[in-house]
Structure 1
Amino acid sequence: MASHRRPKPAGRARVSILTAAAATAVALSAQTGAHADPAPTKDQVKQQVDTLNEQAEVKTEEFNAATEREQGLQKQVSQIQDQVARQQAQVSGIQGTLGEIAAEQYRTGGIPQTVQLMLSASPDSFLNQAGAMNQVGSSQADVLKAFKDEQGKLDQQKSEAEQKLAELDATTKRLKADKEEILGKLAKAQSLLDSLTQKERDDLAAAEAKSAADAKAKATAAQGPERASRDSARTDVVVNAPAGSHAAAAIAAATSKLGSPYSYGAAGPSAFDCSGLMKWAYAQAGVSLPRTSQDQAGAGTSIGTNVANAQPGDLIIYYGDQHHVGMYIGNGQIIHAPRTGVPVRYESATAMPISKIVRP
């Protein structure tokens, strides 16, 4: 007798398997989400941004050094090219004289070897041939010797120009790479800041403003109660530097730029990086400083690392690699161009690790 059992619905087993797989996937997804790295906190973002800004400043000082090197090489190349042009004219003039002598000898039936000597591409080797000098007059030999000497100078100058041009090309490429790296770090820092909420960004800005206000209050307090009670909006802080001194003039110039924006590679008059502000301020006082903070560390008398021994106008160099610099103004304060997004302002002289104090 045939079986009349009802057949199972088609695909039931497959549906069960797919349902189980979907449930497993959902569970795994939830588990993965539970273990995902949490978004960085405001403080963590600030720390990362500060690190990126410091790295950018390190590259900025390298950029400044390379820029200065490039400018120096450009001057050297220009000078050498001028020398080559003058030397070429000198050689061409002597060649013309040799050509006239050779032509005259040819017309008057002169010795063929003399003509060869005058027109030789290598006068030096020809002159070394036995008896060659006996075949020309002393005046002609003098002209040949002059030609040989001047041609040697020209060849040397051309070789030097080629070397400097190659060095300039390498420096220019390094500048481009440094600039791209700096911009990359700054863009990453900005991206981190953009990831914060508006309130978190406002809190960070308020903290920066409070830090600047506290530093300004300490700098102003150095002048006594009367000075400290004046309008807090004023930014002209008078310091105890000898009147008429280079230090006093440099401090006056630097403080006149309070609030000016930071810009990498900038040395005034409207924007600055850290070493650019020092160079510009001291230039207003008639003192020439090197361009980078590392070179500025050697531009004067070393005072050690104790702020207690610093005088207004001294340069305080920071960090082990000396990539930051500020100007001491007294009362434990400096004025400096901190970093991208933070304008020229006052700061505690010990807010960063001191590498060296220098008196220009």
Structure 2
Amino acid sequence: MGTHRRPKPPSRARIATLGVAAGAVSLIPTQSQAAPKPTVDEVRKQVEKLYEEATGPTEEYNGVLEKQKKLQREVDSAQDRLARKQQEFNELREQLGPLAAEQYRSGAIDSSVQLFLSSDPDDFLERAEVLGRTSARQAEALRAMQGKQRELAQERADATERLKALAETRTKAKEKKDAVQAKLTEARKLLNSLTAAQRASMQAAQERDDAAAGVSDSAASYNGPASGRAKTALDFAYAQLGKPYEWGSTGPNSYDCSGLVGASWRTAGVSLPRTVKEMYDAGRKVSRSDMQPGDIIYWYNDSQHNGMYVGNGKAIHAPRTGKNIEIVPVDSMPFFAASRP
């Protein structure tokens, strides 16, 4: 019969250790404990970050929309050509009807049928003429129909490819749009988490910061050193001061950054591409020290945000959602480059 040992009672040291561990566990917050709400300043910084993160996809969306418009025009043109080719083909087929009936009465096989069954239509036509089985008039009509059939097939294939590219571009545009909307929705949720008093406090803080930085969205007339077309463009831009930023907009009631630049220069008779990236690629680059009023300024990089230099170290731009077109110091954002239309 075996001997059973009684378990030793825990030592005082072990009891003390377990007590400390239990105390430590009780200090860990449970899932039911709500996370502390962000302060007004934290919300403001998060909202600013979200709006800034939305500017890149906004310009990408603008670019995709421009591509979509171009593809739509190409699709419309291809479909018009296809319809014309189909009509020409139908007319030729009607003209061949009497020829086919004539051959049927004479007991010959319809040349158009033989043509379409032949693996080499050109070779068939040559042999048919040599054998006297079809007249020169018939051969000419069949060759014309064969040519139209080839053109019709090519136009149909071309239209199909362009329609496919358009569908892919529309899908991409939706993805870019959703990315922007997600950022803006998140920003709105943060703002809605504040009380009315907190929102007023945040607005007041923003206005104080803008005033300290020399930012202004008050309507004013341009009275700087620009001349010629640059002055015309800046006169227009200044007339938009105080109008809201709206992503994807080119006016007249609201603008995004590249929308404002493009609309301003368009009044001066200069046609610019739609997006920040396209404007940067198309423009003649100038150094910061050589900038003149009307030149396009790019902040952050070559594809995110732009505005127009007005002189005296300041620029006009459409900033971001929630703000209006304003005058800012060039150094209010990281300067990247400048170009001249």
Same fold (TM over 0.5): yes
Partner in structure 2 of residue 79 of structure 1: 77
The alignment partner of 1:263 has SS state of coil
The alignment partner of 1:177 has SS state of helix
Report the residue type matching 2:304 in the other structure: H
The 5 A counterparts of 1:173-212 are 173-212=171-210
Of 296, 303, 323, 1:315 maps to 296
Partner in structure 1 of residue 12 of structure 2: none
> Unpaired segments of 5 or more residues in structure 2?
1-20
Partner in structure 1 of residue 276 of structure 2: 293
CA distance in 2, matches of 1:164, 1:80: 8
Partner in structure 2 of residue 351 of structure 1: 332
Tell me the TM-score normalised to structure 2 length: 0.84
Per-residue CA deviation, residues 243-271 of structure 1 (Å, 9 max, x unaligned), is: xx111011010110001011111000001
Q: Structure 1 residues 212 and 355 mapped into 2: Cα distance closer, same or farther (>3 Å)?
A: same
Report the residue type matching 1:272 in the other structure: Y
CA distance in 2, matches of 1:89, 1:58: 47
Partner in structure 2 of residue 281 of structure 1: 264
Q: Share of identical aligned residues, percent?
A: 36
CA distance in 2, matches of 1:124, 1:85: 27
Q: Structure 1 residues 208 and 235 mapped into 2: Cα distance closer, same or farther (>3 Å)?
A: farther
The alignment partner of 2:263 has SS state of helix
Question: Does the Cα contact within 8 Å between 1:327 and 1:336 map onto a contact in 2?
Answer: yes
Q: Does 1:132 align with 2:128?
A: yes
Question: Does the Cα contact within 8 Å between 1:334 and 1:348 map onto a contact in 2?
Answer: yes
Of 230, 235, 238, 2:223 maps to 238
> Unpaired segments of 5 or more residues in structure 1?
1-23, 220-231
Question: How much has 1:29 moved relative to structure 2?
Answer: 6.6
CA distance in 2, matches of 1:347, 1:29: 53
Bigger drift between 173-182 and 26-35 goes to 26-35
Question: How much has 1:140 moved relative to structure 2?
Answer: 1.7
Partner in structure 2 of residue 95 of structure 1: 93
Question: Does the Cα contact within 8 Å between 1:335 and 1:344 map onto a contact in 2?
Answer: yes
Partner in structure 1 of residue 29 of structure 2: 32
Of 143, 146, 151, 1:145 maps to 143
Q: Structure 1 residues 240 and 318 mapped into 2: Cα distance closer, same or farther (>3 Å)?
A: same
Per-residue CA deviation, residues 107-127 of structure 1 (Å, 9 max, x unaligned), is: 3x1532xx1445643566244
The alignment partner of 1:121 has SS state of helix
Of 241, 250, 267, 1:267 maps to 250
Q: Structure 1 residues 123 and 214 mapped into 2: Cα distance closer, same or farther (>3 Å)?
A: farther
Report the residue type matching 2:89 in the other structure: V
CA distance in 1, matches of 2:122, 2:67: 43
Tell me the TM-score normalised to structure 1 length: 0.80
CA distance in 1, matches of 2:192, 2:218: 30
Of 149, 164, 167, 2:165 maps to 167
Q: Structure 1 residues 299 and 212 mapped into 2: Cα distance closer, same or farther (>3 Å)?
A: farther
Per-residue CA deviation, residues 128-169 of structure 1 (Å, 9 max, x unaligned), is: 248234232222212221111111111111111111111111
Report the residue type matching 2:120 in the other structure: S
Q: Structure 1 residues 32 and 294 mapped into 2: Cα distance closer, same or farther (>3 Å)?
A: same
Q: Does 1:328 align with 2:309?
A: yes
CA distance in 2, matches of 1:303, 1:161: 43
Question: Does the Cα contact within 8 Å between 1:317 and 1:355 map onto a contact in 2?
Answer: yes
